């Protein structure tokens, strides 16, 4: 069985955020477009939005190494995800994208409740 996890450092133009996560490839998942090849702002905020930030890459690495000690099984180790945007730009794009994704869910996906959590998370992004 695959752990499908890692410690991820999000490197923005103005800050770094560190998380332990599974299925990080979901950062490319879009409710609007199949086979998306770009990071999706709503997923970035969903994964990294509640993590603390630092403006120092060495501090981010220290945080990541300390997290690694708590998670002895890491399939992907410590990885850096580079985004050539500020955190504020990512959040702004996510807030613009979230209503479109909600509409796409309601239009194109089953409305039997299985997407309620995703809609709730997108609504939380809108209200940031």
pLDDT digits (tens, 9 = 90+) for 76-121: 999 999 999 999 999 999 999 999 999 999 999 888 899 999 999 9
What pLDDT shows up at residue 111? Answer: 80
Write down the domain spans for the chain.
5-126
pTM over 0.85: yes
What pLDDT shows up at residue 1? Answer: 61
Helices and strands (H and E) in the chain: how many: 4, 4
Q: Which helix (H) or strand (E) holds 31?
A: none
């Amino acid at each position: 069985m695959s752990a499908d996890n890692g410690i991820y450092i999000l490197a923005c133009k103005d800050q770094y955020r560190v998380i332990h996560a599974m299925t990080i490839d979901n950062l490319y998942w879009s409710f609007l477009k199949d086979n998306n090849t770009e990071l999706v702002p709503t997923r970035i905020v969903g994964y990294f939005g509640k993590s603390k930030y630092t403006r120092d890459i060495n501090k981010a690495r220290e945080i990541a190494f300390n997290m690694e000690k708590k998670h002895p099984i890491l399939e992907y180790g410590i990885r850096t995800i580079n985004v050539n945007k500020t955190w504020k730009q990512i959040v702004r794009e996510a807030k613009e994208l979230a209503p479109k994704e909600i509409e796409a869910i309601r239009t194109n996906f089953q409305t039997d409740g299985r997407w309620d959590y995703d809609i709730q998370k997108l609504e939380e992004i809108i209200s940031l």
